[in-house]
Structure 1
């Protein structure tokens, strides 16, 4: 299939939700998603069989994240996204902001560390390699806010407002690379903020919220820039197929509106998750302090009883 847009004119009728959700699988993403689901299921089943518990909510969140990737890459949305800026923006927003949050809520790294068997003494298996990667300087760099926030911003402005986007859209491998990049940037950006899986950076909850909102204004400005533009800003979508019955500038304005609106939804989801984590952390801390106070009280009572016993012994 020609992904330049011109070769699809006879294939795509005016876009509707029904046509957009028709099955049209991309082999790369289909296989990757199925492998991801299978590995996660293997880990959860392995824990269950040895008597450990794995929260159902985490499994549901991870499955929803992977299925959301399949939704935008293995349906008609992927085909229409090649010739409609607005549909492409839906793909971009889902795969870079919604899918990563759901996947991270599934705590796949924690599951892997608990499910993978330790290697024999003196050897390194998958679990040991994963641990080494988590403690590596490379991971410390790419998960630091000084790196993640500029990368998150550059993925918008540096891609759409330069010839790079048009270059990647000229071929199917280029399009796959771009989508994988969107997913990777989302995972790297939200990983330290979510704080579900272990990682090199674990700032406090207030700092995580600041990191979350640091990148969102730039995201909103990007959407506004698209909506306010008086000419098409991306060559790929300058001449949409006549069969679609759309005008390039109005479609670009719709894409900008989608980008602007979508910046709010993930922010709210992550903020809710952080508030719940903060509350649960405070509850655990309070319980630890109560137990410590009970132990201290018991020791004081024991000391007092011993003192009374010694006085009684002396009086005798």
Structure 2
């Protein structure tokens, strides 16, 4: 029985890796086809090659995080898990979000379908979900629940738990990157200054969690102390770099509005100007 169980576990990893690879290849193909269709529909506007490259780079980062050797090591080594978390939850989401996949989708879909999607984006639930505060709670706030409760040990002990963590890291990371600096439409998104505040809170929270992991304060992780400390260092420095990149993306896309006073458009009459005579 033990031998059969070991054999099943050994064959399950290549199957899950192959599935992940097929999904990534399918996503790349779908994006490339949509970009080609967008160019055909509007040759003047076309579609940015830079955004296409960004999307493919995000998929490549996901491949590094999900596939062997890192994907295999993350099941047993906390350092590999943290590196995987950085790739799936922070670096890949930024590259994917900067590719503006939603804008590309709206350009390629029929007008009626695009209007329905736009209506959903303007709905109240979508606005609440896409708000930086919600995205911050789901992405950074969930790390406290993961590492300071038995959740990490429970999830890491089951293959399904690993993939659920991957899905959460990717979805929450994309949501936060979109809420802070995404080029896709985001109704009711706060101004740049407010988003910088939320980003600053995320940076501070990441630093506090990493320091708590390093010091072993309230940590519930079944792993060697050395692995936990090195994983905390990966989180501390890797998170800082990713969030600085996100801040750079926000500032690069910032276009401050020029406020012009009405007096420059229509100068006020002087004190001696006479009113027109009534007719």
Per the normalisation by structure 2, the TM-score is 0.82
Q: CA deviation at 1:88?
A: 0.4
Q: Where do residues 1-316 of structure 1 align in structure 2 (5 Å cutoff)?
A: 26-50=17-41, 51=43, 52-119=45-112, 125=113, 127-229=114-216, 233-235=220-222, 237=223, 248-278=224-254, 281-282=255-256
User: Over residues 143-200 of structure 1, what are the superposed CA-to-partner deviations in whole Å (9 max), with x where a residue is unaligned?
Assistant: 2233222222332110122122222222222211110001111111121211411012
Contact 2:131/2:189, CA 8 A, preserved across alignment: no
Contact 2:212/2:218, CA 8 A, preserved across alignment: no
Contact 2:148/2:219, CA 8 A, preserved across alignment: no
Q: CA deviation at 1:207?
A: 1.5
Indicate the SS of the match to 1:233.
Answer: coil
Alpha-carbon spacing, 1:230–1:133, altered in 2? closer, same or farther (3 Å): closer
| Structure 2: stretches of 5+ with no match in the other structure | 267-279
CA RMSD across the alignment: 2.7
Contact 2:78/2:231, CA 8 A, preserved across alignment: yes
The count of corresponding residues between Structure 1 and Structure 2 is 253
| Structure 1: stretches of 5+ with no match in the other structure | 12-22, 120-124, 238-247, 298-316
Any runs of at least 4 consecutive aligned residues in structure 1 with deviations exceeding 6 A, and if so which? none
User: Over residues 77-124 of structure 1, what are the superposed CA-to-partner deviations in whole Å (9 max), with x where a residue is unaligned?
Assistant: 0110001000100001111111111111100011111111224xxxxx
> Whole-Å Cα distance in 1 between the matches of residues 16 and 68 of structure 2?
6
Which of 1 and 2 has greater Rg? Answer: 1
Indicate the SS of the match to 2:237.
Answer: helix
